[in-house]
A and B are shown apart, each in its own frame.
Chain A
Amino acid sequence: MLLSINWLKEFVPFTGTIQELDDALTMLGLEVEEVLHPFEGIKPMVIGHVVECEKHPEAEKLSVCKVDVGEEEPLNIVCGAPNVRKGLKVAVVKVGSVMPDGTKIKKTKLRGIPSMGMICSERELGLSDEHDGIMELPEELVPGANLVESLNLDEVVLDISITPNRADSLSVLGIAREVALAFDLPLTVPEYNLVESGEDCSEEVAIEIADADKCYCYYGRILEGAAIAQSPAWMRYRLVAVGLRPISNIVDVTNYIMMGFGQPLHAFDLDRIEGAKIVVDTAEEGEKFVTLDEQERTLKATDLMIKDGSKSVALAGVMGGANSEIHDGSTRIFLESAVFQPASVRRTARRLALSSDASFRFERGVDQLNCPEAMDRAAAMLAELTGATVRTGICKAEPKPWVAPELQFRPQRCRDLLGVDVEDAFCKATLEKLGCTITGADTADWTVVPPSNRLDYEREVDFIEEVARVYGMDRIEPVLPQVKRTLEARNDDCNEYEFWSLIKAWGCGLGLNEAINYSFVGHADLDLFNLPKDNRITIMNPLSSEQDAMRTELAPGLLQNLRHNLGHGNMGLRLFELAHIFEADETSDTTVRESGRLNILFYGDRFDSAYPRMASEAEYADIKGCVEHLLAHLHVGVPSFTLVEDHAWMSPAVNVVVNDQKVGTIGRINPEIADAYNAKKDVWFADLDTDVLRTMYVASNIKFASLPVHQSAWNDITVIAPITLNVQAIFDQVAATKLPLLEKMELIDVFVPEASEGAEETRNLTFRLTFRHSSKTLKDKDVDKERKKVVKSLENALPVRI
């Protein structure tokens, strides 16, 4: 809401500074977002008086003027406007001044005649797009005076953020009430003088309201003999200052009264109203209706309409129709002032994406008791500005008159809720200043009747808020409460937040960078990963097609991060992200199953710095070791790794299984997918289910094993195996021999000798076998015996040589 300070001062005799006003309103909950100076650009302009005006001898369309700007000599100005003539008062920019668009006015010559300035059109004055002629100013202005000051323009405008509950403050009057409250000033609402004439017209237009719940009251006045014209400059400037576009004297008056008093009004051309009646009723389903912005709208049976005897003429409370609009030839006006159901107006305005200043106010609620007075003010002003006569009488229907509620207020309850010792007298004075009527103020339980402009007073707590607001929220002394709670609340062993925190600390400590990506991606991203379509959650109203699906995997986001980083020269990445994935699930109360995922990405340079590390690149062992490290950290058990043949977006892909349960998959992003993200090297990836891991983690516990007493002994063996044989097969075979003394078996070296022509490719795998006896120290011969068992078992079961 834009509020002009000059306009405000017509309603309340405020004399303080802008800063004082800004602070007071902000601390009362009417937050001043910005202080605007709408006419800063035209400040250098002065009033000029055209004292001479002759045709340019060399150019037919130009005039050579002498313009009195209050200086000793009049200025010589060449002007191209068709309407420039002797005697006019005009707006002049002198040489050296800067126009609103930044152009500096210079001394020039036009067809040989010097010009010492410029006479301005409305466009140059920021008033309209009119540029065909110069703007003609009122006679009485003094040459040389500053234009902005002479016209008393609204130089300072506050942009105030009005919260949805404060419909009462969507007008100069509403804010003036708050200013009066804050500074203890009287209200000085401008007077008006409505002169009615002619026969009573209250029966000339019959008002019919089909549903009292949708239209509480409807008032109309008839004006005759109106002359449509531009509004006077002061009104147009004022409307421009508060963000409205001047249209014509009739429309401008309705807007002016709405901004001043909060009641939206509409003017119909009475000659275009058929059947001498107004019917407030819902539209026909599918009805087509052209609003005055010339858009054709398709209506629903729930849209509330204003109709005449034969057709719809306006979308009630939202926008008028083109078919009954005021036009240049209009002389008879039907002026509407009504109150419509907020929800109904909002539904229609929202569905049609047609929010107007009127619908904005109706949605939030207007003061029903102010409805006829606002109409009368507008009628009086229309009479003055259009020369119309206002007919005697009002056409009206009020099926649902305003009934003030009777509400409870207990001062003690107020003190308890605020934690402040406010006195009864303060509460009473505050509520009365806000227009409430109180009975029973000598008891502990008051009855409060709110004023009609405060539709937000519905309950006791609303009054308590008002007491706090006027007392000053910022004066409330802080008290740190004791938190009372039961251990029951603490029954969750390790909730998602705690578990994720644990993993985040692990990841950060290990040396990974935590990433956070949007939960939505494009369907196209998911398609690229060959992900199923049937379980996706689609966003109905996405901001773009790149954000139209909830992600069913975290991978697309991390790959986008990879692309971004590669584009910025970051060549080695170790990212991890913890987030929900989203899949359709009919059994969920939100129709969506959200599961926790940990994804890890390794790419490119393994180390951040070259020396003293050897330059090397991330490979399978890095991602696998990282996952093994995590599982060890969580004490969930030793994982096994099994190849998956047909993974949608990783190859190779390897399932990670702990205690027969899959906890995730690791592997390399399919090269063609990686390529789409500009990755030239292998992208190693882990996709782990944190819900499964959390369950395992909660069930896990640490059991101490006593330290061995006797020394171990070790022995290395080198196995020459076909290159296609999995190392795991060797480990498994040794494990199957069940040697009680074998404590540990580790792979310590791999060597791939060059295969001779035609021979099978082999690799030499060196294992270290560690043996230990629980009650004695092993001797060499004991170890040799065990080693032989291992060799025999391997040679018998596998195609290997030792």
Chain B
Amino acid sequence: MSLIHELESLVQELNSGLDQAFSLSEVEDLRVAFLGRKGKLAQIMQRLPELSPEERPEVGKTANIVKGKLTGMLDDCKTKLENAAEADKLAKFDPSMPGRMPWQGSLHPVTKVMTEICDIFKGLGYDIVTGPEVENDFYNFEALNLPPEHPARDMQDTLYVTDNILLRTHTSPMQARTMLKQEPPLAIIAPGKVYRRDSDLTHTPMFHQIEGLLVGEKVSLAELRGTLTAFLQEVFGPETKVRFRPSFFPFTEPSVEVDISCCMCGGEGVVDGQPCRVCKQTGWVEILGCGMVDPEVFKKVGYDPEKYTGFAFGLGVERVAMLKYGIGDLRMFFENDVRFLNQFI
């Protein structure tokens, strides 16, 4: 058999070899066997010196063609197997297998609401201040125009450490603490824990408040309304209606109780034909207390009440969270059940 014939028969030989190759390693073995340094093609070509110089170019040419063919066949087979492997991989891919999820953390709903509110006021130019939770009677009551024996002290059942030291009943002591340190104009937000001697379905002995205070020249009740309307619509949505009605706090005059249209029933008083349990059919829910800073408070901190006016407001964070997230039971806030916490991611 001529070398040419031998060379050409390699094609057929590889073809039948590839027919039996079902893996990439088998294909690689065939490549080595046919095209390797000591492979079949090389062995045939070693016999080239046996030929006459006239015959050699023809054989060389044939060898190149055969080599090209073999390489092509091997590549094709390899591609075919790779494609099959990929197709197989895709066929076996199960997108519904669970993900390797990193830990999921959560912020306490009180933190979430507090952060949202503080961020709104930071955006409006307020500074955030914090202070002690155990307070003097002076900052908690006296400086806020609540002298001893004032009946308004009944509005806040107090936990005492001594006759003069108590757990702050509101975040309002931060008003006096800030004003004693700083001259107007000022705009502050004071978030924090507060305490009352009260425990039932709708009260816990500790809860969170956010206090706001703005003092300057010619600050007005209309501006208080503007500030709170903007803030409440930001938290509860632009459709929220804000209602002002007269109330009483010793440290503000005039004093205002603020209601928002019920976020459960949209102010209709009825949900799915049933009386709304959130607003008790009134269409309104109480959300915060506020007012114009009482001149007596300014006098206690050495501000001139003729020159400066200001407004203050305080709201309960848990109450906002309950309305916002539809939490029905106040006690859940302090049980820290992870099934509860994990809902506030």
Q: Which residues in A have some Cβ–Cβ distance to B below 8 Å? A: 26-29, 31, 163-166, 342-343, 346-347, 363-364, 416-420, 459, 461-462, 464-465, 468-469, 473-474, 476-481, 483-486, 488-490, 495-498, 501, 504-505, 507-520, 537-543, 547, 550, 561, 564-565, 568, 570, 573-575, 579-580, 582, 589-592, 594, 607-609, 611-613
Contacts and interface: CB of A to CB of B under 8 A. Distances in A.
Nearest to B258: A473
A432 to B, nearest CB: 19
Nearest to A344: B149
B102 A481 contact: no
Contact of A543 (B106, B128, B197, B253): B197
Contact of B246 (A469, A490, A509, A517): A469
A508 B127 contact: no
B221 interface: yes
24 contacts: A27-B245, A164-B248, A363-B151, A459-B253, A474-B244, A476-B222, A477-B222, A478-B229, A480-B223, A481-B223, A483-B126, A484-B185, A489-B186, A489-B188, A495-B129, A516-B334, A518-B204, A538-B161, A539-B160, A550-B161, A564-B336, A582-B134, A590-B132, A591-B161
Contacts of B337: 564-565, 568, 570
Contacts of A486: 185
Interface residues of B, number: 94
A520 B225 CA distance: 37
A592 B230 CA distance: 38
Contacts, number: 263
Nearest to A345: B149
A517 B334 contact: yes
Chain B interface mostly: mixed
A568 B341 CA distance: 14
Interface in B182-224: 182, 185-188, 191, 193, 195, 197, 199, 204-206, 214, 216, 218-223
Contacts of A547: 205
B159 A539 contact: yes
A484 to B, nearest CB: 4
B104 interface: yes
B225 A510 contact: no
A511 B219 CA distance: 45
Contacts of B254: 418, 461, 464-465, 468-469, 473
Given A363-B151, A473-B256, 12 more contacts: A417-B220, A420-B222, A473-B254, A479-B220, A497-B191, A498-B128, A504-B107, A508-B105, A508-B106, A550-B161, A565-B338, A580-B133
Contacts of A509: 105
CB-based closest 3 A-B pairs: A511-B103, A419-B222, A419-B220
A346 B151 contact: yes
Nearest to B101: A609
Given A465-B246, A570-B339, A608-B101, A484 B216 contact: yes
A541 B148 CA distance: 18
A444 to B, nearest CB: 15
A749 B109 CA distance: 42
Nearest to B138: A589
B162 interface: yes
Which of A165, A516, A594 has the largest count of B CB atoms less than 10 A from its CB? A516
Contact of A513 (B106, B204, B255): B106
Nearest to B254: A465
B221 A468 contact: yes
A598 to B, nearest CB: 13
Given A419-B220, A539-B167, A515 B104 contact: no
Given A592-B165, A613-B100, A540 B160 contact: yes
Interface in B122-152: 124-130, 132-136, 148-152
Contacts of B150: 164
B136 to A, nearest CB: 6
Contact of A573 (B148, B229, B334, B338): B338
A465 B255 contact: yes
A534 B111 CA distance: 33
Contacts of A507: 105
Contacts of B154: 164
A368 B237 CA distance: 50
Contacts of B97: 612
A519 to B, nearest CB: 6
Contacts of A518: 204-206, 334
Given A485-B125, A543-B197, A512 B103 contact: yes
B108 interface: yes
A28 B182 CA distance: 36
B23 interface: no
A483 B105 contact: no
Which of B110, B214, B221, B292 has the largest count of A CB atoms less than 10 A from its CB? B221
A568 B101 CA distance: 23
Contacts of B206: 518-520
A505 B119 CA distance: 14
Contact of B104 (A496, A561, A608): A608
B201 to A, nearest CB: 15
B100 A612 contact: yes
Contacts of B216: 481, 484
Nearest to A511: B103
Contacts of B159: 520, 539-543
Which of B104, B187, B225 has the largest count of A CB atoms less than 10 A from its CB? B225
A514 B106 contact: yes
Given A483-B187, A564-B337, A591-B162, A31 B257 contact: yes
A488 B165 CA distance: 31
Given A419-B220, A483-B187, A483-B214, A590 B193 contact: no
Contacts of A459: 253, 295
B53 interface: no
Interface in B18-33: none
B143 to A, nearest CB: 13
B40 interface: no
A507 B165 CA distance: 34
A608 B188 CA distance: 41
A450 B97 CA distance: 79
A592 B161 contact: yes
A540 B166 CA distance: 9
Contacts of A592: 132, 134, 161, 165
B41 interface: no
B74 to A, nearest CB: 36
Contact of A485 (B129, B185, B226): B185
Contacts of A574: 103, 105
A542 B158 CA distance: 10
A608 B99 CA distance: 12
Contacts of A542: 159
Contacts of B83: none
A638 B134 CA distance: 35
Nearest to A468: B254
Contacts of B167: 519, 539
A343 B149 contact: yes
A517 B230 CA distance: 32
Which of A342, A343, A540 has the largest count of B CB atoms less than 10 A from its CB? A540
A612 B222 contact: no
Nearest to B221: A418
B246 A468 contact: yes
B230 to A, nearest CB: 6
B245 A465 contact: no
Given A417-B309, A461-B253, A483-B126, A516 B247 contact: no
Given A363-B151, A474-B243, A540 B115 contact: no
A29 B256 CA distance: 9
Which of A419, A464, A611 has the largest count of B CB atoms less than 10 A from its CB? A419
A321 to B, nearest CB: 24
A488 B160 CA distance: 35
B71 interface: no
Interface in B231-248: 242-248
Which of B102, B108, B309 has the largest count of A CB atoms less than 10 A from its CB? B108
B7 interface: no
